[in-house]
Structure 1
Amino acid sequence: MKDRISAFALCTAMAALAGPAFAANTTSLTHTLVLSDLENPWDMAFLPDGTMFYTEKCKGLSVRLPDGSVNKLLGMQGTEDDYASTAEDLFCEGQAGMQGVAVDPDFAENRQIYVYSTSNMTAPGTNRLMRMTVGEDLASVGDRTDIVEDVRYKPEATDHPFGGPGAHNGGRVRFGPDGFIYLTTGDTHFGEGPQSPTIIAGKVLRIDRDGNAAEGNSPPDGFDPRIYTYGHRNVQGIAFHPSTGTPITAEHGPWHSDEITVLVNGGNAGWDPRPNVGGRGACPDDYCGYSPNQMEGMDRYERAAFMPMTDLATYPDAMPPIWDNNGWSQGTSSAAFLTGSEWSAWENHMVVGIMGIGFGGTPIGQRIDVIELNDAGTEVVDVTEMTLPMEAGRFRSLVLGPDGALYAAVDQGMIHKLEP
């Protein structure tokens, strides 16, 4: 086990030295610390006046008002009692907990928000998308309705050296320009999940505000009609091209090849961690995403050949990624587009947050990359690393605020504001 960890740590350290082929950075940024002393802030969503809803993975949902004050709205089991209300079925474990949040585009009329969280309402647990109504004073939430109740959750430990309970939940919630909700889900270390037509794991769902399949979804015959794309590993980033409106995902790779993928309605992202696929044999717990022999003596290209992130040999019609982080896996977690002329040469460029952490908590490769796409949004033209005016962190969420600034939540407990 120690040798495996050492090999992985070496691989990750080499990734930090090699890294993407960055272009010169010519944009300077100013920095404001918006919130600190948080516990694993996971996502943010804004009202037009700058009011910011945010989640903390193991605590709950809160809102920061424009004057800087904070109201704690909905706590999870075990949280302190200063939340306006507590949902005892909501819990955190490992990577699971309260994650994505989105504001209804018609919030001014219906005051509704959407929150994704892990629940034990049905054993052994599921990930759920909840719709709630925010009080007029922004001090409470109520009228909870679980519009998606069946996103798979991983409750048990495994024989793998990684991925205990709560692994790989996806968790990003975004409204697309088409008015529908896009919900990303992870494979939960369940080999059958990503390619399954009915198990909601390793999917991107496209649904209406009641949780029903969006009009126009076209998954393969026999698939759950809510499925927009399938065959994913762990999508934690989704954003929409400013010109075309096309959804584009950012996704964690399996010790290689973080990916950015332009989604195609009904498309397969090509991740299939089942045993006996593509020439593989048996794997622990029937999940080959962390096959032990990947650790010994393989470089990232050999790992990619053995356990491809997008398996185009098995699934030749799979959606090909447009970026793979030069074959490295560094925890590409979140995505947004920089819109507004204040961003100058970076206007309409995509940004991705990279968590980049090695064994023992060593920060390696933590950064924000600015990715220039062609006009059609189908190819990467250039990649630039942001020169940050503050210490980097595990960039869990990137959201463009209504003021045009980029807000960045880091696992270390802070939310930053970056302006050009």
Structure 2
Amino acid sequence: MTPTRPGFGALLAGTAILAAPALAQDGMNTTSLQHEIVLDGLENPWDMAFLDDGTMLFTEKCKGLSVRMPDGTVTPLYGVGETEGYPASGSDLFCEGQGGMMGVAFDPDFADNRRIYVYASSEMSDPHTNRLMRFTLNDDFTEVSDRTDIVDDIPYKMEASDHPFGGPGAHNGGRVRFGPEGALWLTTGDNHNEEIPQSPTMMGSKVLRMDTDGAAHADNTPPDGFDPRTYTFGHRNVQGIAFHPETGQTIVAEHGPWHSDEITVLVNGGNGGWDPRSNMAGRGDCPDDYCGYMPNQNEGMNRYERAAFMPMTDFATYPDAMPPVWENNGWSQGTSSAAFLEGEGWGEWDGAMVVGIMGIGFGGTPIGQRIDVVEFYDDDGTLMVEDVTEMTLPMESGRFRSLVLGPEGSLYAAVDEGQIHKLTPAR
């Protein structure tokens, strides 16, 4: 077992030990990978979902939902707004900034009910919202119908003037997944709104667990006064969620501000500890009361000092917050999607988690675009990180927006540059 060391967050907060290596290690890369470009010429592909026969749903943020059949045939299904080439579209759906069509999932009982789920930005109300929509997909995979908005109240950032950082449509979360128990999970973001993360009723900055009608899962245990759909709260912008193949535990990957991407094993009812309000943990006033990027990169602080001033997980204010099991050594590089590798072909990585790094450095500089392999071990019922290895890729890196394990055991990677790649371990 590779020794681990406390993360910097523990050293600063003094209240929790984060047993995690800080960056991808130099350990041996145990697999050689075969590479295939499955789809090219896409426009910001955002997410994918598979059936056992290889049928793949995929979304393009500003275009819409399509399906790729096992023979390679691609059929558009549902467009964003006035996008051409789709047999149906949502006139209320739109694309702006980070908003648009995002996560997608097949119902576990798809063979019987033909249901699929898509998360997208909608201007049906003012202010706009993000919505989780349910559709019925016909037998020949050419049309969707019966749109039902089962979640319609995920906040959306309307104006750049809402605060001095970022633009409209920022921080929507957006990953849709079904857990091993059959529940429907949705991740959301903070919209650069200081009130959202710790709010009991505003449904940004949350991980939601629901049934397929959008109602709260019966086993959720949020704090008193919280919306019952809340599984965890106090997040910044979760775009990665995966479930440990042996324990079933829910693990999220989360974007940091100008420091500290994090991976966290969730606890039912837990607080992620993100609270960018002014005057929290000894901070003073911040521009428009949002401290999420303070102090900025021009004020001479290194990444550790920034993390002390505006921690991703604020143990000083919330000593019982969920401690991350990994943090990116004080860097914010766009840790996005997450999935678990499964199958003998992956060798020592069978059962390890992969996370996509989109490679965002200070000021938006591309840096560190990669896939990291995170190996866990069970320490008396607590998942801990044993090792983190950068995957050696037989392709050029890109902004890894989505990682999904296909039914045959290959890893599919959607990159913002417009491709969906297939990575298969050599047999």
TM (normalized to structure 2)? 0.92
Q: Distance in 1 between matches of 2:297 and 2:310?
A: 8
CA RMSD of aligned residues (A): 1.4
1:293, 1:118 → 2: CA distance? Answer: 29
Secondary structure (helix, strand or coil) at the match of 1:38 reads: coil
The answer to whether the Cα contact below 8 Å between 2:80 and 2:94 also exists between their aligned partners in 1 is yes
Partner Cα distance (1:289, 1:131) in 2: 33
Cα–Cα, structure 1 residues 248 and 221, in superposed 2: closer, same or farther, change >3 Å?
Answer: same
- How many angstroms apart in 2 are the aligned matches of 1:269 and 1:23? 30
Secondary structure at 1:364 match in 2: coil
Q: Which runs of 5+ in 2 are unaligned?
A: 1-21
Do structure 1's residue 52 and structure 2's residue 65 form an aligned pair? no
Question: Is 1:218 equivalent to 2:221 in the alignment?
Answer: yes
Secondary structure (helix, strand or coil) at the match of 1:407 reads strand
Paired with 1:358 and 1:290, the residues of 2 have a C-alpha distance of 13
SS in 2 for 1:158: helix
Moved more, 56-65 or 375-384: 375-384
Change (3 A) 1:361 1:281: closer
Over 3 Å counting, the alpha-carbon distance change for 1:43 and 1:264 in structure 2 is same
Equivalent in the alignment of 1:35: 39
Provide Cα deviations, 1:95-146, integer angstroms capped at 9, x if missing partner: 0110000100000000000000000111121000000000111011010000
Structure 2 matches for 1:190-201, cutoff 5 A? 190-201=193-204
Paired position in structure 2 for 1:396: 401
- Please give the secondary structure, in 1, of the residue aligned with 2:306: helix
Q: What pairs with 1:352-371 in structure 2 (closer than 5 Å)?
A: 352-358=355-361, 362-371=365-374
1:150 maps to 2:173: no
2:418 is matched with 413
Partners of 1:289 and 1:268 lie apart in 2 by 17
SS in 1 for 2:220: coil
Measure how far apart 1:359 and its partner are.
7.1
Please list the CA deviations of residues 233-255 of structure 1 after superposition, one character each: whole Å capped at 9, or x if unmatched. 00000000011101000000111
Please tell me whether the aligned partners of residues 29 and 388 of structure 1 are also in contact (alpha carbons under 8 angstroms). yes
SS of residue paired to 1:285 = helix
Task: Give the CA deviation at 1:285.
Answer: 2.1
- Write the letter of the residue equivalent to 2:410: A
1:341 Cα deviation from its structure 2 partner: 1.1
**1:280 alignment partner, one of 280, 283, 290:** 283
Is 1:179 the counterpart of 2:176? The answer is: no
Percent sequence identity over aligned pairs? 73
The alignment's TM-score, normalised by the length of structure 1, stands at 0.93
TM-superposition CA deviations, 1:307-365 (whole Å, max 9, x none)? 00000111000000000012211000000000111111100000000000347875310
Q: Distance in 2 between matches of 1:373 and 1:149?
A: 36
Aligned length: 402
Check conservation: 1:42, 1:411, Cα contact below 8 A. Answer: yes
> 8 Å contact 2:297–2:362 — kept in the other structure?
no
Alignment match of 1:107 (pick from 105, 110, 121): 110
> Once the 2 structures are TM-superposed, how far is the Cα of residue 178 of structure 1 from its aligned partner?
1.1
Q: Distance in 1 between matches of 2:306 and 2:362?
A: 19
TM superposition shift of 1:275: 0.8
Select the residue among 320, 325, 344 that pairs with 1:322: 325
Could you say which residue in structure 1 is the equivalent of 2:256?
253
| 2:92 is the alignment partner of 1:89 | yes
Shift of 1:417: 0.2
Which residue is 1:10 aligned to? Answer: none
- Tell me the SS of whatever aligns to 1:99: strand
The equivalent of 2:16 in structure 1 is: none
Looking at structure 2, the residues matched to 209 and 160 of structure 1 have their Cα atoms a distance apart, in angstroms, of: 35
Per the alignment, in what secondary structure is the counterpart of residue 374 of structure 1?
strand
Q: Distance in 1 between matches of 2:305 and 2:361?
A: 20
Q: SS at 1:379's partner residue? A: strand
Three-state SS of the structure 2 residue aligned to 1:398 is strand
Q: Which runs of 5+ in 1 are unaligned?
A: 1-17
Distance 1:292-1:316 versus aligned 2 partners, 3 A rule: closer
* 2:83 corresponding residue in structure 1: 79
What secondary structure is seen at the aligned counterpart in 2 of 1:301?
A: helix
Aligned to 1:197, what secondary structure does the other structure show? coil
Contact 1:207–1:213 (Cα < 8 Å) also in 2: yes
1:288 partner SS: coil
Whole-Å separation in 1 of the counterparts to 2:117 and 2:204: 19
